[in-house]
Amino acid sequence: MGKDECKTMLDALNKVTACYRHLVIALGSTSDSQNLREELKKTRKKAQELAVANRTKLTALLKDKSISKDDRAEYERLWVLFTSSMDLLEVDMKRSLEIGQDFPLKVPTRHLIQTGMTGSTTTVAARAMSVQNMKYEADANIDTVDLKELETEIAQVDQMMEEMEMKVQVAPWAVEAKQEAGAELKSTVSVGNSSVGVISICEEEPKETVEGESGMMKVLAGIIFTAVLLIAGILGYLVINL
Amino acid sequence: MTIRNVRDHGQRYRPRMACLKKVETVVLEMQDPKTGVKSQTQRLVITTIPHAITGEDIVAWIANRLKIDASEAQAMGTMMVAFGYIYPLQDHKRLIIKPDTSLYRFQTPYFWPAQQWPVEDTDYAIYLAKRNIRKKGMLELYEQEEYNNLYKWMNHKWDFIVMQAKEQYRAGKERKKPDRVVFDCQERAYWVVHRPPPGTVSAMDHGLDRMVDPNLEEKKTPDYYRRIIMFTQQCIMRPRVKSSVSIGALVKYTATYKEHDPFLNSCLPSNPWLTDDITYWNLNMPNVETPTKMRVERWTFSFGELLADPRGRDDFRLFLKKEFSGENLAFWEGCEDLKWGAAETMKEKAQQIYKTFLARGAPRWINIDGKTMDITVKGLAHPHRYVLDAAQTHIYMLMKKDSYGRYLKSPVFKETQKKAAAPDAHRFSETQLEQNSKRRRPSLSPITLKQQEEEQKAKLAASGPVDITQVMSKLEKKQRK
């Protein structure tokens, strides 16, 4: 069905947008590198392909006048999802252009901001491209060459968004959300080591309560230990007496 | 989605903060491995994260580099933290720099405050949703309120926000643990700067939004040059005053109003913007019974001040009533009403004022000289907003030269001065200030205030005779009987 195809494609676009944002946040910091610029380029190209595919599909569906009102409402909701994704993507692309220009890699004295992030972003990019391992094959001057391409791509995206707005008559404010407030807490179906990750992040949060929490754990352990000792003592006493 | 093809004249651009680019260059210099700030590693329970800097190192580096003393360097450091270029690792809600061993870290360029990237509510909603997942529904009170607000008015995008929040959360987990911690800290610091918790001051507070994008370079068209030429011609034509005269006037003004300025002096009992306590505003309402001493003192500065303050005008009206010369003030108020009132009732108002004050044998006849009377009567044939201007100025000068001096020496004024309230300064503790900020409520609506004003005016109109002409005419009527 057209709707399911649309939904899977929108999910994919959503995933790529989220990963692209993570990558752009790492630009200009100490985890910036040749690889990061290449990852950005690849993710961007994938996002563009998905965007074009989504757009053709959705415009075809919305232009069809013979669909029911419920269907139309559903397609409008998907359209709002699509345009919001594209908004985020466009802003991230423009920002990556700016930051990329401000922090060139191939200069003799490069001052990358010491943000504390030192790891690589390979896994994020692999998630965006839906591959197991990323392959890097770009030349040394990717940062300058890529920026020119990026400018043209941004212009393309801009034009696409304007066209979309003119051609498709959808009132975005009229769409009602299906999810209610707090819906993100509900579905815990997620890929990867989600539950383990949650606990470890909670532990690692660098607040004052970390010390308090580990202290609490120690006190709790102590109490359990003394309780076990007491029970053992009582049992031994009973055994001796009987 | 943002509507792109919009051609209105809405104001949507944040005014320029020129200091941001300058702070960025300083931050870049701090990164130099040889001449920059020394960095250490932060030790958490299991992981260690590099690139932490201490407050004292930052302050020392700034003082050294910019050749300023320690207190100014500390102020500059606080500014950098308040803008969000550096964020504190402990006590993350207080955006100040502590010149001791407390740790800070640099913010990634994506999260720097930039002129051309407005802070989007969509991003904030995604951040709150992510935080909701992380904290399993236990958001802080102000965050929960914002979340509910955003859910209400961004409802059409809510599916997108939930989807994006989940995806960003999962994508974030792909990174290694230290990077994940750093990313969380960065994002949290960004939103503390741009959506400050209640009771804190934000450095990103700015005035009204501008209509023109300050980042756009204006194209040098002939129209642009025409505007520049007009502007410079008008500058040349402006009347010039000797600087000794203008500076003398400025000095006199500052000397008179120095004590009354809430920036230069403390305002009693306390400044509501700082302590969230509205006693000051309650004591200075337009129709309060006992004004404050400062307010009464301001009435003695000039006649304009007395008339501008509604309570002062009331007092003056009372004095004039005792002297049976209230028609001047009533005429002046009528002229103000005509000048500032609605256009549809203008003609009737002008006619009413003429009948009441200016016509021969009018009930409240005012005493203006023949020439002004001629001009006014001629103008009233074709009334407009400023037709009574000449008469109004004449009456104003009359009141200023004559009645004002007598008012300041009168028992009415002395009575008001004696009864004026002088409140003590408040002294709030930290907890009381927090409580005050939680108890903030909106003030009386302007509609209610306007209604109160109208009621007062009606009461005044219904009160007894206040002018000598009215008294004389009453006496005459009595005599005739």
pLDDT tops 60 at residue B227: yes
| Res. A145 pLDDT band, cuts 50 70 90 | confident
Q: Where is average pLDDT lowest: A78-92, A99-113, A134-148, B43-57?
A: A134-148
The whole-angstrom separation of Cα B8 and Cα A231 is 80
Amino acid B465: pLDDT: 60
| Res. B294 pLDDT band, cuts 50 70 90 | very high
Q: Where is average pLDDT lowest: A177-191, B27-41, B74-88?
A: A177-191
CA distances from B71 to A112, B59, B60, B65, B203 (A): 29, 9, 10, 14, 19
Phi/psi for B105 (5° steps) reads -145, 155
| Nearest residue in chain B measured CA to CA from A213 | B45
Contacts of residue A210 in chain B, CB cutoff 8 Å?
Answer: 44-45
Partner-chain residue, chosen from B90, B134, B160, that has the shortest CB–CB distance to A81: B160
Q: Which residue has the higher pLDDT, A153 or A106?
A: A153
Amino acid A32: pLDDT: 67
Amino acid B165: pLDDT: 94
The whole-angstrom separation of Cα B448 and Cα B405 is 35
Partner-chain residue, chosen from A112, A117, A121, that has the shortest CB–CB distance to B182: A117
Return the bridge partners of B49, or none: B42
How would you list the strands of the sheet with B86-88, edge to edge? B40-43, B48-54, B103-106, B86-88
Contacts of residue A86 in chain B, CB cutoff 8 Å?
Answer: 1
Q: Which residue has the higher pLDDT, B399 or A34?
A: B399
CB atoms under 10 Å from CB of B117, counted, come to 14
Percentage of chain B exceeding pLDDT 90:
52
pLDDT tops 70 at residue A193: no
Distance from CA of A64 to the nearest CA of B (A): 22
β-bridge pairing B103-106 and B86-88 = antiparallel
| Nearest residue in chain A measured CA to CA from B45 | A204
| Nearest residue in chain B measured CA to CA from A95 | B110
Percentage of chain A exceeding pLDDT 90:
20
- In chain B, where the domains are located: 17-115, 121-174, 272-419
- Fold exhibited by the domain B17-115: Arc Repressor Mutant, subunit A (1.10.10)
The whole-angstrom separation of Cα B1 and Cα B163 is 16
Please check whether residue B288 is in contact with residue B296, taking contact to mean a CB–CB distance below 8 angstroms.
no
Q: Which residue has the higher pLDDT, A91 or A222?
A: A91
Closest by CA to B84, choosing from B127, B48, B114, B113, is B113
| Nearest residue in chain B measured CA to CA from A110 | B32
Return the bridge partners of B43, or none: B48
CA distances from A165 to A59, A172, B9 (A): 11, 11, 20
Distance from CA of A65 to the nearest CA of B (A): 23
Amino acid A199: pLDDT: 35
pLDDT tops 50 at residue A201: no
Residues B32-66: pLDDT tens digits?
Answer: 888 888 888 888 888 888 889 999 999 999 999 99
For the segment B157-179, the average pLDDT, to the nearest whole number, is: 91
The whole-angstrom separation of Cα B416 and Cα B414 is 5
Return the bridge partners of B106, or none: B86
For the segment A134-141, the average pLDDT, to the nearest whole number, is: 73
CB proximity list for A195: less than 8 A, separation 6 or greater = A188
Among A31, A123, A166, A204, which would you mutate to test the B interface (most chain B Cβ atoms within 10 Å of its Cβ)? A204
Amino acid B5: pLDDT: 67
Sign for the pseudo-dihedral over CA of B252, B257, B258, B262: negative
CA distances from B466 to B308, B364, B461 (A): 21, 9, 10
H-run or E-run covering B41:
strand B40-43
pLDDT tops 90 at residue B125: yes
Q: Name the residue with tokens 């009930």.
A: B363
| Res. A204 pLDDT band, cuts 50 70 90 | very low
Return the bridge partners of B394, or none: none
| Res. A202 pLDDT band, cuts 50 70 90 | very low
Amino acid A91: pLDDT: 93
Kindly state the DSSP code that residue B101 receives in the 8-state scheme. Answer: S
Give CATH for domain B121-174: 1.10.1240.60
For the segment B211-229, the average pLDDT, to the nearest whole number, is: 89
Q: Is some CB atom of chain A closer than 8 A to the CB atom of B362?
A: no
H-run or E-run covering B28:
helix B19-30
Average pLDDT, chain B: 89
Q: What share of chain B is helix, strand, coil (3-state, %, to 5)?
A: 60, 5, 35
The whole-angstrom separation of Cα B95 and Cα B114 is 18
The whole-angstrom separation of Cα A7 and Cα A74 is 11
The answer for B 146-205 residues in CB contact with A (under 8 A) is 147-148, 151, 155-160, 162-168, 170-186
The whole-angstrom separation of Cα A49 and Cα A56 is 11
Partner-chain residue, chosen from A109, A172, A181, that has the shortest CB–CB distance to B1: A172
pLDDT tops 90 at residue B82: yes
User: Does the distance separating the beta carbons of B110 and A174 come in below 8 Å?
Assistant: no
Among B158, B186, B191, B192, which would you mutate to test the A interface (most chain A Cβ atoms within 10 Å of its Cβ)? B158
Q: Which residue has the higher pLDDT, A214 or A48?
A: A48
Amino acid A219: pLDDT: 75
| Nearest residue in chain B measured CA to CA from A129 | B171
User: Does the distance separating the beta carbons of A177 and B157 come in below 8 Å?
Assistant: yes
Closest by CA to B220, choosing from B228, B208, B211, is B228
Kindly state the DSSP code that residue B201 receives in the 8-state scheme. Answer: -
The answer for B 116-155 residues in CB contact with A (under 8 A) is 117, 120, 122, 129-130, 132-134, 136-137, 147-148, 151, 155
- Fold exhibited by the domain B272-419: Regulator of G-protein Signalling 4; domain 2 (1.10.167)
| Nearest residue in chain B measured CA to CA from A76 | B156
Partner-chain residue, chosen from B2, B165, B175, that has the shortest CB–CB distance to A121: B175
CA angle B217/B220/B224 to nearest 5° reads: 105
| Nearest residue in chain B measured CA to CA from A205 | B181
Residues B454-466: pLDDT tens digits?
Answer: 888 888 777 766 6
pTM for the predicted model, two decimal places: 0.70
Amino acid B193: pLDDT: 94
User: Does the distance separating the beta carbons of A117 and B133 come in below 8 Å?
Assistant: no
Kindly state the DSSP code that residue B87 receives in the 8-state scheme. Answer: E
CA angle B471/B472/B476 to nearest 5° reads: 120
CA angle B279/B285/B286 to nearest 5° reads: 170
Distance from CA of B404 to the nearest CA of A (A): 60
User: Does the distance separating the beta carbons of A29 and B109 come in below 8 Å?
Assistant: yes
Please check whether residue B467 is in contact with residue B326, taking contact to mean a CB–CB distance below 8 angstroms.
yes
What is the interface pTM, i.e. ipTM, of the complex?
0.77
Alpha helices in chain A (DSSP H): 2-25, 34-63, 69-102, 122-129, 142-167, 194-204, 209-241
For the segment B441-448, the average pLDDT, to the nearest whole number, is: 83
Partner-chain residue, chosen from B44, B184, B186, that has the shortest CB–CB distance to A115: B186
The whole-angstrom separation of Cα B86 and Cα B35 is 18
Amino acid B97: pLDDT: 92
Partner-chain residue, chosen from A24, A176, A185, that has the shortest CB–CB distance to B110: A24
Amino acid B320: pLDDT: 93
User: Does the distance separating the beta carbons of B107 and A115 come in below 8 Å?
Assistant: yes
CB proximity list for A210: less than 8 A, separation 6 or greater = A203, A204, B44, B45
Amino acid A196: pLDDT: 35
Contacts of residue B109 in chain A, CB cutoff 8 Å?
Answer: 27-29, 99, 102-103, 113
Contacts of residue B119 in chain A, CB cutoff 8 Å?
Answer: none
Contacts of residue A203 in chain B, CB cutoff 8 Å?
Answer: 45-46
Amino acid B2: pLDDT: 64
In the structure encoding, which two tokens stand for residue A212, read together? 């308090």
For the segment B298-326, the average pLDDT, to the nearest whole number, is: 93
Percentage of chain B exceeding pLDDT 70:
98
User: Does the distance separating the beta carbons of A21 and B136 come in below 8 Å?
Assistant: no
For the segment B304-321, the average pLDDT, to the nearest whole number, is: 93
Please check whether residue A124 is in contact with residue A22, taking contact to mean a CB–CB distance below 8 angstroms.
yes
Closest by CA to B310, choosing from B467, B449, B418, B463, is B449
Amino acid B399: pLDDT: 94
